């Protein structure tokens, strides 16, 4: 039985495709042949990636009436061409290189790649990747740079701790955070030349003062001026990075101001703090029309298992694949934070972790968070409402809960007999 589909046979009449490199871009454009209806005219030219050359290419495309320009996501080299053509008003598409791979066995050149991409694009056989609008792109640049700065600060702290270990200073064994007020004072004294363990231990503050005997033992080592020089440089670098993070945070606050109401609503989700809310908006934007359903958003983020079926048999291990690493990182952090709360998301994590393991639980909770995010951003009036940690219990029958409890007790070696309680 023939069934109607949503596909429509449509050819993009005037289309161009770019094969982008660092220094050159090969542009293939295809337009109708007015003299021979049903035939196509094609032009393939190579341009420099310098701005004036790209502007000349844009003028040529405008002259021929090109409406859509398609390019592969090649490193970061696609950005100058994409942004320039976007500013010229073209319908600019960025596509995944895996979706437009040339047929096997064919020769591969930049020219042939551009022609193939143009032919695939004119027949509507590819989908565009998500590229956020300029305000979100700027916010994304800031939030991603903040992640890099935090990682750099963490790496520098690790170097400082390793340096202290090299000098047989065991401060990290006694103090949980050697970069707190007490730890910084002690390291500053070491840099200034103080080597007496008793004097160094007396620099402890607050609860750390209860560990003064252990601190005295930890400072018995061989800290030299060589270690002091390196430690001073490392601490100065940590302070400089922290100052940069503070400036970036201020810049993020300024950029997030137009989207502040959405950020506040996202921060109501358990495990989502202000920084996480900013990162989420930076990575997926606010326009949920790009993702028709929550499942589309989860699929784009690769928080949904891939489907692979052949000969009627499903294959694979349920792997989600590789998606946006920055979004995946923040969703993982949210899931771990939510796991420590007495909420629906926390209970969902604990139930799944017991049966399937922590990694699968993180992915499942991350997908639940994405579903919540989609609804909050899709409807500006929506607010988060926690279903509660007892949600699953209220949906589970009494008999099933009895069987589960009995099975768990029997697994521990108990013989269980159930008797109804007195009225």
- Of how many residues is the chain composed? 423
Q: How far apart are CA 134 and CA 9, in angstroms?
A: 33
List C-alpha distances in Å: 133 to 137, 138, 254. Answer: 6, 9, 17
Give the pLDDT of residue 73.
82
Same domain, 249 and 289: no
Residue 318 pLDDT greater than 60, yes or no: no
| DSSP result, 311-373 | TTEE-S--------HHHHHHHHHHHHHHTTSSSHHHHHHHHHHHHH-HHHHHHHHHHHHHHHH
Residue 317 pLDDT greater than 60, yes or no: no
Nearest Cα neighbor of 122 from 7, 17, 37 is 17
Q: Which range among 52-66, 230-244, 264-278 has the greatest average pLDDT?
A: 230-244
Give the pLDDT of residue 156.
96
Same domain, 250 and 286: no
Residue 315 pLDDT greater than 90, yes or no: no
Inside any domain, residue 401: no
Across 364-374, average pLDDT: 93
pLDDT digits (tens, 9 = 90+) for 181-205: 999 999 999 999 999 999 999 999 9
Q: How far apart are CA 148 and CA 203, in angstroms?
A: 33
Q: Looking at residue 65, what DSSP letter applies?
A: T
CA of residue 405 relative to chain centroid, distance: 39
- Please check whether residue 56 is in contact with residue 47, taking contact to mean a CB–CB distance below 8 angstroms: yes
Residues 78, 83, 85, 91: is their CA dihedral positive or negative?
positive
Q: Which of 97, 122, 147 is the last residue of a domain?
A: 122
The helix (H) or strand (E) run that includes residue 42 is strand 40-48
The helix (H) or strand (E) run that includes residue 394 is helix 391-395
Indicate the pLDDT class of residue 355, thresholds 50, 70 and 90. confident
Comparing 108 with 28, the larger pLDDT belongs to 28
Give the pLDDT of residue 55.
93
Across 26-51, average pLDDT: 88
Q: Which two tokens stand for residue 222?
A: 């061989």
Residue 237 pLDDT greater than 90, yes or no: yes
Across 271-279, average pLDDT: 92
Give the pLDDT of residue 405.
83
Indicate the pLDDT class of residue 349, thresholds 50, 70 and 90. very high
Q: Which residue is associated with the tokens 């800031």?
A: 142
Give the pLDDT of residue 251.
95
Residues in Cβ contact with 51 at an 8 Å cutoff, skipping those fewer than 6 apart: 80, 84
Inside any domain, residue 165: yes
Inside any domain, residue 27: yes
> What are the φ and ψ backbone dihedral angles of 93, each rounded to 5 degrees?
-115, 135
Inside any domain, residue 114: yes
Same domain, 252 and 274: no
CA of residue 269 relative to chain centroid, distance: 17
Q: How far apart are CA 50 and CA 23, in angstroms?
A: 8
Q: Looking at residue 286, what DSSP letter applies?
A: S
- Please check whether residue 204 is in contact with residue 182, taking contact to mean a CB–CB distance below 8 angstroms: yes
Inside any domain, residue 212: yes
Across 375-379, average pLDDT: 92
Cα 277–279–281 angle (5° rounding)?
Answer: 70
Q: How far apart are CA 201 and CA 259, in angstroms?
A: 48
Q: Which of 257, 289, 321 is the last residue of a domain?
A: 257
Same domain, 164 and 202: yes
Give the pLDDT of residue 260.
84
Same domain, 149 and 221: yes
Give the pLDDT of residue 157.
95
Across 232-246, average pLDDT: 96
Neighbours of 138 (CB within 10 A): 15
Indicate the pLDDT class of residue 46, thresholds 50, 70 and 90. very high
Same domain, 308 and 337: yes
Q: Looking at residue 289, what DSSP letter applies?
A: G
Across 60-89, average pLDDT: 89
- Please check whether residue 152 is in contact with residue 241, taking contact to mean a CB–CB distance below 8 angstroms: yes
Same domain, 167 and 240: yes
Same domain, 150 and 253: yes
Residue 13 pLDDT greater than 90, yes or no: no
Give the pLDDT of residue 320.
62
Give the pLDDT of residue 252.
94
Give the pLDDT of residue 125.
80
- Please check whether residue 218 is in contact with residue 173, taking contact to mean a CB–CB distance below 8 angstroms: yes
Same domain, 57 and 144: no
- Please check whether residue 14 is in contact with residue 67, taking contact to mean a CB–CB distance below 8 angstroms: yes
Same domain, 244 and 279: no
Percent over 70 (pLDDT), the chain: 92
- Please check whether residue 328 is in contact with residue 284, taking contact to mean a CB–CB distance below 8 angstroms: no
- Please check whether residue 218 is in contact with residue 112, taking contact to mean a CB–CB distance below 8 angstroms: no
Residues of the domain holding 221 = 136-257
Number of domains within the chain: 3
Indicate the pLDDT class of residue 112, thresholds 50, 70 and 90. confident
Q: Which two tokens stand for residue 154?
A: 């963490």
Same domain, 306 and 236: no
Give the pLDDT of residue 418.
81
* CATH number for 93: 3.30.420.10
Which range, of 9-18, 197-206, 285-294, averages the lowest pLDDT? Answer: 9-18
Q: How far apart are CA 335 and CA 370, in angstroms?
A: 11
Q: How far apart are CA 130 and CA 420, in angstroms?
A: 59
| DSSP result, 242-256 | HHHHHHHHHHHHHHH
Residue 336 pLDDT greater than 90, yes or no: yes
Residues in Cβ contact with 30 at an 8 Å cutoff, skipping those fewer than 6 apart: 14, 15, 16, 40, 41, 42, 118, 119, 122
Residue 310 pLDDT greater than 80, yes or no: no
pLDDT digits (tens, 9 = 90+) for 116-175: 888 888 887 888 888 888 999 999 999 999 999 999 999 999 999 999 999 999 999 999
Same domain, 273 and 250: no
Which range, of 113-122, 372-381, 391-400, averages the lowest pLDDT? Answer: 391-400
Inside any domain, residue 414: no
Indicate the pLDDT class of residue 249, thresholds 50, 70 and 90. very high
Q: Which residue is associated with the tokens 């291990």?
A: 317
Inside any domain, residue 131: no
| Mean pLDDT of all residues belonging to the chain | 87
Q: Which of 94, 122, 150 is the last residue of a domain?
A: 122
Neighbours of 180 (CB within 10 A): 14
Inside any domain, residue 88: yes
Across 16-32, average pLDDT: 90
């Amino acid at each position: 039985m023939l069934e109607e589909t949503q596909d429509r046979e449509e050819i993009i009449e005037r289309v161009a495709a770019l094969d982008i490199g660092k220094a050159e871009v090969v542009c293939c454009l295809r337009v109708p042949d007015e003299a021979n209806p049903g035939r196509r005219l094609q032009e393939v030219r190579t341009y420099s990636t310098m701005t004036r050359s790209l502007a000349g290419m844009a003028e040529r495309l405008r002259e021929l009436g090109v409406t859509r320009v398609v390019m592969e996501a090649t490193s970061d080299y696609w950005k100058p061409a994409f942004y320039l053509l976007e500013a010229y008003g073209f319908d600019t598409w960025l596509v995944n290189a895996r979706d437009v791979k040339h047929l096997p066995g064919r020769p591969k050149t930049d020219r042939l790649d551009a022609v193939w991409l143009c032919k695939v694009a004119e027949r509507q056989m590819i989908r565009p990747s998500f590229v956020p609008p300029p305000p979100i792109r700027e916010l994304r640049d800031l939030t991603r740079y903040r992640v890099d700065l935090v990682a750099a600060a963490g790496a520098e702290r690790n170097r400082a701790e390793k340096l202290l270990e090299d000098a047989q200073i065991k401060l990290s064994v006694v103090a949980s955070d050697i970069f707190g007020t007490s730890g910084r004072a002690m390291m500053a004294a070491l840099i200034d030349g103080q080597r007496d363990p008793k004097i160094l231990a007396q620099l402890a503050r607050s609860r750390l003062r209860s560990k003064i005997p252990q601190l005295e033992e930890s400072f018995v080592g061989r800290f030299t001026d060589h270690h002091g020089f390196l430690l001073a440089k490392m601490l100065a670098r940590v302070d400089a990075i922290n100052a940069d993070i503070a400036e970036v945070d201020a810049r993020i606050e300024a950029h997030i101001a137009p989207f502040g109401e959405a950020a506040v609503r996202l921060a109501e989700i358990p495990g989502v703090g202000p920084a996480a809310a900013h990162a989420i908006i930076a990575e997926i934007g606010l326009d949920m029309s790009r993702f028709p359903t929550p499942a589309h958003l989860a699929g784009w983020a690769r928080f949904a298992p891939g489907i692979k079926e052949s000969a009627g048999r499903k294959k694979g291990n349920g792997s989600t694949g590789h998606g946006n690493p920055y979004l995946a990182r923040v969703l993982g952090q949210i899931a771990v934070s939510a796991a420590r709360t007495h909420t629906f998301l926390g209970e969902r994590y604990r139930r799944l972790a017991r049966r399937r393991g922590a990694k699968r639980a993180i992915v499942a909770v991350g997908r639940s968070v994405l579903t919540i995010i989609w609804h909050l951003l899709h409807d500006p009036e929506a607010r988060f409402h926690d279903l509660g940690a007892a949600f699953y219990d209220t949906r589970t029958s009494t008999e099933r809960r009895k069987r589960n409890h009995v099975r768990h007790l029997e697994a521990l070696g108990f013989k269980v007999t159930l008797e109804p309680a007195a009225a």
